[in-house]
Amino acid sequence: MAPQEPLRLVIVTGGAGYIGSHVVYTLLETRRYRVVSLDNYGNSFPEALVRVSQLAREALPKDATEQDIESTKIEAVSCDLTREDQVRAVFERYGHGAFWGVIHVAALKSVGESSSRPLDYYHTNVGATVSLLKLMEEYGTHRFVYSSSATVYGIPPVIPIPETTPLKAESVYGRTKVMCENILMDLAASNPEQWRLISLRYFNPAGAHPSGRIGEDPRGRPGNLLPLLSQMSVGRLPEGKTLQVFGNDYPTHDGTCVRDYIHVMDLASGHVLALEALASQTDTRAFRAYNLGKGRGQSVLDMVAAMRKASGCEYETVIVGRRLGDVPDLTADPALAEKELGFKAPRELDEMCRDLWNWQSKNPQGYETPEAVATKEE
Q: Which is nearer to ligand WQD, 109 or 294 (CB)?
A: 109
CB 37 within 8 A of CB 12: yes
C-alpha pair distances (Å), 29 with each of 70, 289, 343, 358: 12, 25, 17, 21
User: Which one of the spans 33-41, 85-93, 238-246, 286-294 is the region binding ligand WQD (CB under 6 A)?
Assistant: 238-246
Report how far apart the first and last C-alpha atoms of the chain are (Å, whole number): 57
Question: What is the smallest separation between the CB atom of 204 and ligand WQD, expressed in angstroms?
Answer: 5
Q: Map the footprint of ligand WQD across residues 109-138, applying CB under 6 A.
A: 109, 111
One of 30, 86, 131, 224 touching ligand WQD (CB under 6 A)? 224
Is residue 153 annotated as part of the catalytic site, yes or no?
no
* DSSP characters over 73-134: -EEEEE--TT-HHHHHHHHHHH-TT--SEEEE------HHHHHH-HHHHIIIIIIHHHHHHH
Q: Give the integer Cα–Cα distance in Å for 368 and 374.
A: 10
Give me the 256-295 binding string for ligand WQD, x by CB under 6 A, dash otherwise. -x-x------------------------------------
Q: Which is nearer to ligand WQD, 57 or 241 (CB)?
A: 241
Exposed/middle/buried for residue 241 (C-beta within 10 Å: 0-12, 13-18, 19+)? middle
User: Which one of the spans 81-89, 133-141, 209-217, 224-232 is the region binding ligand WQD (CB under 6 A)?
Assistant: 224-232
Question: What is the smallest separation between the CB atom of 103 and ligand WQD, expressed in angstroms?
Answer: 15
Question: What is the smallest separation between the CB atom of 349 and ligand WQD, expressed in angstroms?
Answer: 14
Of 47, 53, 171, nearest to 109 by C-alpha is 171
Q: Which is nearer to ligand WQD, 38 or 225 (CB)?
A: 225
- H or E element that contains 67: helix 66-71
CB 169 within 8 A of CB 151: yes
CB 350 within 8 A of CB 210: no
C-alpha pair distances (Å), 323 with each of 57, 86, 164, 174: 43, 38, 27, 16
User: Which one of the spans 22-30, 74-82, 138-146, 237-245 is the region binding ligand WQD (CB under 6 A)?
Assistant: 237-245
Q: Give the integer Cα–Cα distance in Å for 177 and 168.
A: 10
One of 162, 323, 344, 365 touching ligand WQD (CB under 6 A)? 323
Among residues 121, 153, 173, 250, which one is catalytic?
173
User: Which one of the spans 50-58, 222-230, 231-239, 271-279 is the region binding ligand WQD (CB under 6 A)?
Assistant: 222-230
Please report whether residue 225 would count as binding ligand WQD according to CB under 6 A. yes
Residue 124's CB is within 10 A of a number of other CB atoms, namely: 21
Please report whether residue 149 would count as binding ligand WQD according to CB under 6 A. yes
Question: What is the smallest separation between the CB atom of 54 and ligand WQD, expressed in angstroms?
Answer: 27
One of 26, 204, 291, 360 touching ligand WQD (CB under 6 A)? 204
Q: Give the integer Cα–Cα distance in Å for 106 and 128.
A: 9
Q: Which is nearer to ligand WQD, 225 or 292 (CB)?
A: 225
Q: Give the integer Cα–Cα distance in Å for 238 and 262.
A: 28
Number of chain positions touching ligand WQD (CB under 6 A): 18
The site for ligand WQD (CB under 6 A) is made up of: 109, 111, 149, 151, 204, 223-225, 228, 243-246, 257, 259, 300, 323, 326
